[in-house]
Structure formats: structure tokens, C-alpha cells
Amino acid sequence: MKTLKLKVPASTANLGVGFDSIGMALDKYLEVEAHLSADEKWHFEHIGPHLLGLPNDETHYITNIANRATEKFNKEMPALNLKMFSDIPLARGLGSSASALVTGLYLANHFANLKLSKYELLQLATEIEGHPDNVAPTIYGGLVLGVYDPELNHTDVSYIDIPKVDVIATIPEYELSTEKARKVLPETLFLKEAVKYSAISNTMISALIQHNYELAGKMMMKDGFHEPYRQHLIPDFHNIKQVAIEHGAYATFISGAGPTVLTFIKKELSGKLVRALQDEFKNCESELVTINRFGASQEIINL
Ligand code: HSE
């Protein structure tokens, strides 16, 4: 039987001041094996702790996305049998819903024969998500900058080299929904503030391009678009940042909408810091994560 195997990475969004625009793919994955369902009904088998409690029938989010994509192109989405494994914890700011969204689009692309390119899949993913910062790196890999124009319904993206730093994720045991973390943000900013934070963001990107991680890190920690409004939702954020800075980190910032906290640090210093974070913040899992370079991948196998 022909089976489609997908491996779809996690992602971290914002990188401090790149709110809703900048994201980076990480080597944690949603892995899926899918084939046509014999009884024409959707069946999901979830493996591992992170997918516990998700529906195992057509009410699944992934079915919804696949149907939405096929309807847009006036095609039929066949029902599938899916086996899914994930090491991306849910509602932690590591792009688990973007990886599910991209999975739904890849399934539609293959099984409804849409023949969409990665560029077209990105357009569709951003139209659904509303911003490209998780879906773009999930599809393409690496560090991606993007902008979605809702009036034109169009997304443009650009890339820069992945930073030559070690990345530590400090993942709290509690969840924080993106919805809740977006509700605390202000509706509008004064022009003066918008100019300030976009200048900081510009400088951050230029510093990353020049591999000047001291300056990039300094800029990442001057965000004014989301972190000041969200930090109270992550009680350990301030102390994690303190410990990281004492250990020589370049920057510590909220991953996506949180509650995961991400740290960029020199390779020589990362081991000592990850152990210190693990010792000090027992209600969090601190781990070194590598950056994914190539984004979502698929292969067809005969099982
Ligand atoms: N940029 C988004 C946010 C990422 O911070 O709310 C999560 O969707």
C-alpha cells in the first residue's frame, strides 16, 4: 500500500522584536504516515504523550485544514488513515499548530493531487494562520522573515543564514494558549513606539546577517511589540533571563506566544547554562535544540 510519510518541524516565532514576522525552524517534529482509508472514514492513531486527547476521527484539526485546502481548488479530499507521532509539546510557543496546519496542507496536496509548490503552500498556510512567522520556517526551514498583506492576500518571505549559536529551549510544564497570549496585546501603538521598535528590528536583522550576535541579542531583548505585555503570563521568564545573562547568553526571549523561553548562546557556554537552567527551574524542561534547515519533507513508501 502506498503511504505518504511527512516530517514537519517545530518553529520558534518572533525572536524578540520580530513579532508576527520572523521565525526559525527547530529540530522537533510532527511525523505522520498516511494512506487512503479502506472504509472511507478518517482514522487517527496518536503515538506519544503530546497528542493525547486529540480526536481520532474527521473532527480532527488536520482533516479540517485538508478539506479547506481541497475545497478552495474544487477538488475532493479522500478520507485517510493516519498514524502520528510528535515531540513538539502543544500550546508552548513551539509552533505545534503551524506544524499541524502544514501537515493538513501537505496531505491535501498529495491525496487530492493539488500539485501546489512550497511557495503556493505558504500562501495558503499564511492565509489561514494570518501571519507567516511559524508556517514559513515550518515549510522552508531555517530563519525566515515574512510579511502577510491581508488586503492582497499575499505573503512575501526572505531568508538569512541561520545563526551560528546554540539554542536552549526552557519549556514550562504548563500550557499557554496563543489566543490568551494575543488578548493581552494592545490594539494600537503610537507612531513613535512603532518607529522605535521597527528600528530595533531592522538593526537586529542587520546584526544577524553580519553574525554580530552581541548586537543582535541586545536588540532581541528590546522588544516592545509583545514581550512587555506577555511576560506576566510566564512567571519564570524574568529569572530565566537573569540566569542566562549571568552565563553569558546573547539573548533570552519568549518563543512565539510563550510560555517557552528561548536563549541564544555561544557554543562554548551552552552546556553549562542548560544544566544550570535545569537545576534552577525544576518545573521546566531545559534542553538544547538544533535549528532545522530544510523544513517539511515528504516521501512515498510502499508498506
Ligand atoms: N507571532 C505569534 C504570536 C506566534 O506571538 O502571537 C504565535 O502564533
- Asked if residue 5 has pLDDT above 90, the reply is yes
Specify the pLDDT at position 211.
97
Pairwise CA distance, residues 80 & 284, whole Å: 36
Q: Does 95 belong to an annotated binding site?
A: yes
- Ligand 1 site, CB within 6 A: 13-14, 19-20, 131, 133-134, 178, 181-182, 226, 256-257
Q: Give me the chain's average pLDDT, please.
A: 97
Q: Any known ligand binding at 182? A: no
105 vs 210: CA distance, rounded Å: 35
Task: Round to whole Å and give the CA distance between 4 and 196.
Answer: 47
Say which DSSP state 297 is in: E
pTM equals: 0.96
The 10s digit of each residue's pLDDT in 237-287 is: 999 999 999 999 999 999 999 999 999 999 999 999 999 999 999 999 999
Does pLDDT of 48 surpass 90? Answer: no
Query: Over the stretch 219-241, which tens digit does the pLDDT of each residue have?
Result: 999 999 999 999 999 999 999 99
14 Cβ partners below 8 Å, 6+ apart?
20, 22, 23, 133, 223, 225, 226, 253, 254, 255, 256
Number of residues assigned to the chain: 303
Cα 171 to middle of ligand 1, angstroms: 16
Structural domains for the chain: 2-161+292-302 (3.30.230.10), 166-289 (3.30.70.890)
pLDDT digits (tens, 9 = 90+) for 63-74: 999 999 999 999
User: How far, in Å, from the CA of 95 to the mean position of ligand 1?
Assistant: 9
Cell of 266: 555561544
177's CB contacts (< 8 A; 6+ apart) are 91, 257
pLDDT digits (tens, 9 = 90+) for 112-171: 999 999 999 999 999 999 999 999 999 999 999 999 999 999 999 999 999 999 999 999
Give dist(CA 117, CA 149) in Å, integer. Answer: 20
- 258 annotated binding-site participant: no
